[in-house]
Chain A
Amino acid sequence: MSVDKTTVAKIARLARIAVPDERQGPLADELNAILDWIAELDEVKTDHVEPLASVTGHALPMRDDVVNDGGCVDDVLANAPESASGFFVVPKVVE
């Protein structure tokens, strides 16, 4: 499996990172170098092996389903690049 410029453009779009046209070729080479190396994993037999996503060894703890935080709009908005009337402001989404 190797990525080309078109795939790089597609991944960049999924990742919401603007990658200029002239960077797409070099980036494809860099990604392929990593992917070729990762392909070493194909040697490992993993039939009937359960994937491991967490090493905690404990079940996720439960808590009562009650409000235990909030009422801090100022704190939430304090670092926003732009806010108004208690809301985050973003470019127009609906025409």
Chain B
Amino acid sequence: MSDLLSLSAVEARAALDNKDISAVELTTAYLAAADETASLNNYVARTADQALTMAAESDKRIADGTAGLLEGVPIGVKDLFCTKGVASTACSRILDGFVPRYESTVTANLWAAGGVMLGKLNCDEFAMGSANETSAFGAAINPWQGPDKLDLVPGGSSGGSASAVAARSALMATGTDTGGSIRQPAAFCGVVGLKPTYGRCSRWGIVAFASSLDQAGPFTRTVADNALMMTAMASHDPKDSTSSAVPLQDLAAAVTAGVKGMKIGVPKEYVMDGMDSEVTALWQQGQAWLQAAGAELVEVSLPHTKYALPAYYIIAPAEASSNLARYDGVRYGSRVEADSLDGMYEATRAAGFGDEVQRRIMIGTYVLSAGYYDAYYLKAQKVRRLIKNDFDSVFETVDALITPATPTAAFPVGRKIDDPVTNFLNDVFTVPANLAGLPGMSVPAGLTKDGLPLGLQIVGKAFDEASLYRVGGVIEAAANFTTTPARMAGGAS
């Protein structure tokens, strides 16, 4: 069984097409793997019956010669995606009992390509968090452990997705990334995560957090698997007015295209106070790998980098306060009864939203309120322009940027943080790409001395995901990242 789990998606697809394995066998192995690793709490709902039905249909299509791109590949879905007939809660009490009557465009694309749905994956409540600790279902756990064997966070908000792919209880998983929610957990769990260009994946049917920043993207164990999943996820969707019609490049070909002749920028502002020396060393190692593979490394400047995080923490909560106004106890989700309509709203939202979500709605409401709009919200939007201008100017001379993915490796669950700002720093390297709408990829590249994974981030031009896969492919080959986590299904320990 562990043999099945060790196949990459590309390998599994070949084995399925050769009839070496069946989709039902593969799905059965993954359902058992999810049972075996249930203590990681990365699934919030499992759809075993549906998975086996879908797998049986995949086997028929493979026999008929009509297999899709992801035919028979078992996939976990972040609980932020609406899935028809399957509870979708954004890991919030306020959506308790919500069963969508429709399917998100991204998941519909995956099923149309033959993907098999294993279940819904844990995440931070409404995707607000960087450790998966704000979930109403409790924290998801990282399958990696340090020498002290403490439970570590998988990162967030797509923590369940990263944890499941790393623990081999899903071959692929969907995530969403508003400020780093794919790239940071991918780095913490030693897997590959891509946040595509804003507009690449339809947002239709995804629970909205901050609509001008939210993007869906793939989690996989290899760069080639990531290209495969991304190719199936992306589409131009008239139901999302921000969805782009720019054609997707040949991503699978890009993975092995190499970086010879590419110009890769190294932003000098990404050297941060308090950054682990191991992170700095890995970043330099990554540059050396790319140089050895024929890329030209260039120091570049993104002068407004330090303002990205505070601008994000105005814009994202502002948009969230507006998006989350819909949870009012009337149309879906939970309700707390009261004598008046306003009383019902206030009681429902107080009981349904967790502390972090309430805090962000409050901040968002404040920065949009009369008298403060210009000083906060408009100011942040102007800074956002300057951040995008920085990238535009740098991308006149380089093809991609290489940076660390996170300032540290994964930290213990329950780490007590009094200052909410400290938690925000997890996203210091990832937030700028969201503000500028650019694609970013996190690739596992090394281990700390404690044996925890670290990732490198590649940021590219809008709609040029292919360059990320070129660079990612080279880093993956050079890093030869073969270590597996302690708490992995079918693993030795």
**Chain A residues close to B by CB (< 8 Å):** 1, 3, 7-8, 11-12, 14-19, 27, 30-31, 33-35, 37-38, 40-44, 46, 49-58, 60-61, 63, 72, 75-76, 78-82, 88, 90-91, 93
Q: Does B289 contact A (CB under 8 A)?
A: no
B329–A17 CB distance below 8 A: no
A52–B242 CB distance below 8 A: no
Which of B64-72, B307-315, B395-403, B447-455 forms part of the interface with chain A? B307-315
Q: Beyond A3-B366, A11-B362, A55-B198: 13 further Cβ-contacts under 8 Å?
A: A12-B362, A15-B361, A16-B328, A17-B349, A19-B358, A37-B421, A41-B310, A41-B383, A44-B379, A46-B386, A49-B385, A80-B330, A93-B341
A contact residues around B382 at 8 Å (CB): 44, 46, 49-52
Interface string of B72-99 (1 = CB under 8 A from A): 0000000000000000000000000111
A contact residues around B380 at 8 Å (CB): 41
A contact residues around B337 at 8 Å (CB): 91
DSSP majority for the B interface? Answer: helix
In the docked arrangement, what's the CA distance between A17 and B328, Å? 10
* CB of A95, distance to nearest CB on chain B (Å): 11
B344–A31 CB distance below 8 A: no
Question: B376: which of A38, A63, A75, A80 is its contact (CB, 8 Å)?
Answer: A38
**Chain B residues close to A by CB (< 8 Å):** 97-102, 198-199, 212, 238, 241-242, 244-245, 304, 306-307, 310-311, 313-314, 321, 325, 328-335, 337-347, 349-350, 353, 358-359, 361-363, 365-366, 369, 372, 375-376, 378-386, 388, 419-421, 435-437, 462
DSSP majority for the A interface? Answer: loop
B contact residues around A31 at 8 Å (CB): 359, 362-363, 366
A15–B365 CB distance below 8 A: yes
Most buried by B among A43, A44, A60: A44
* CB of A41, distance to nearest CB on chain B (Å): 5
Number of A-B contacts (CB under 8 A): 161
B385–A50 CB distance below 8 A: yes
Question: B212: which of A8, A55, A57, A82 is its contact (CB, 8 Å)?
Answer: A55
A88–B331 CB distance below 8 A: yes
7 of the cross-chain contacts (CB-CB < 8 Å) are A8-B362, A31-B359, A41-B314, A41-B379, A41-B383, A58-B245, A88-B331
B contact residues around A19 at 8 Å (CB): 350, 358
Write the chain B residue with the least CB distance to A59: B241
* CB of B371, distance to nearest CB on chain A (Å): 10
In the docked arrangement, what's the CA distance between A8 and B330, Å? 25
A contact residues around B366 at 8 Å (CB): 3, 7, 11, 31, 35
B333–A52 CB distance below 8 A: no
B241–A60 CB distance below 8 A: yes
In the docked arrangement, what's the CA distance between A3 and B306, Å? 25
Across the A-B interface, the 6 shortest Cβ-Cβ residue pairs: A55-B437, A51-B381, A79-B332, A81-B335, A46-B382, A52-B385
A contact residues around B349 at 8 Å (CB): 15-18
B242–A78 CB distance below 8 A: no
In the docked arrangement, what's the CA distance between A37 and B40, Å? 34
In the docked arrangement, what's the CA distance between A76 and B102, Å? 11
Write the chain A residue with the least CB distance to B335: A81
In the docked arrangement, what's the CA distance between A1 and B310, Å? 15
Known: A3-B366, A53-B212. A40 touches B310 (CB 8 A): yes
* CB of B218, distance to nearest CB on chain A (Å): 21
In the docked arrangement, what's the CA distance between A79 and B327, Å? 12
Question: A78: which of B101, B314, B335 is its contact (CB, 8 Å)?
Answer: B101
In the docked arrangement, what's the CA distance between A19 and B362, Å? 11
B198–A34 CB distance below 8 A: no
Known: A27-B362, A37-B421, A55-B212. A79 touches B333 (CB 8 A): yes
A44–B386 CB distance below 8 A: yes
A contact residues around B321 at 8 Å (CB): 15
* CB of B61, distance to nearest CB on chain A (Å): 29
Write the chain A residue with the least CB distance to B368: A14
A34–B311 CB distance below 8 A: no
A contact residues around B353 at 8 Å (CB): 17
In the docked arrangement, what's the CA distance between A53 and B314, Å? 13
B369–A14 CB distance below 8 A: yes
Known: A41-B379, A82-B335. A18 touches B347 (CB 8 A): yes
A17–B346 CB distance below 8 A: yes
A contact residues around B313 at 8 Å (CB): 34, 37-38
Write the chain B residue with the least CB distance to A54: B212
In the docked arrangement, what's the CA distance between A85 and B381, Å? 45
B contact residues around A15 at 8 Å (CB): 321, 349, 361-362, 365
In the docked arrangement, what's the CA distance between A29 and B306, Å? 24
B contact residues around A11 at 8 Å (CB): 362, 365-366, 369
A18–B99 CB distance below 8 A: no
B310–A91 CB distance below 8 A: no
Question: B419: which of A33, A38, A50, A93 is its contact (CB, 8 Å)?
Answer: A33
